[in-house]
Amino acid sequence: MKSFNKLSGIVASLPQVNIDTDAIIPKQFLKTIERTGLGKHLFHEKRYDKENNLNDSFVLNKEPWNKSNIIERNFRRNARQIKKEFSCNSFF
C-alpha cells in the first residue's frame, strides 16, 4: 500500500452501519491469488442484478459517485481481508 498525506475527490456515502465484509466482495471472487482486478466485484450483490446488469439505483453506479475515491480501514489483516482491501483500491 502506498501512503498518502492528502486525498481530494468525490465521496460516496454508503449509509449502512457495520457493513458485512462479505458484502464488500463476495467469497466467490476471493479464489484468486492476484492482487489486481478485484475492484469490478466490489459490492457485487448491490451493484449488479441477477442478470449481471448494473443496478442503476446503487450509489456507486451513479454519476458522480461512480468516480468516488474509496478509503478503507480497520480491517483485520488476514488474506481474505487483504483481498477486500485490494478490491476497494482497484475499483476504478
Cell of 1: 500500500
- Asked whether residue 77 is domain-assigned, the answer is yes
Number of compact structural domains in the chain: 1
Using alpha carbons, list the distances in angstroms from residue 82 to 12, 13, 55.
22, 22, 26
C-alpha cell belonging to residue 35 = 492482487
Question: Using one digit for the tens of pLDDT, what is the confidence trace for 10-32?
Answer: 777 777 777 777 888 888 888 88
Residue 90 CA, chain-centre distance (Å), reads: 8
The predicted model scores a pTM of: 0.65
Q: Is residue 32 part of a domain?
A: yes
pLDDT, tens only, 30-80: 888 877 788 888 889 999 999 999 999 998 899 988 887 765 544 445 555
Q: Residue 42: which domain range?
A: 21-89
Domain membership flag for residue 37: yes
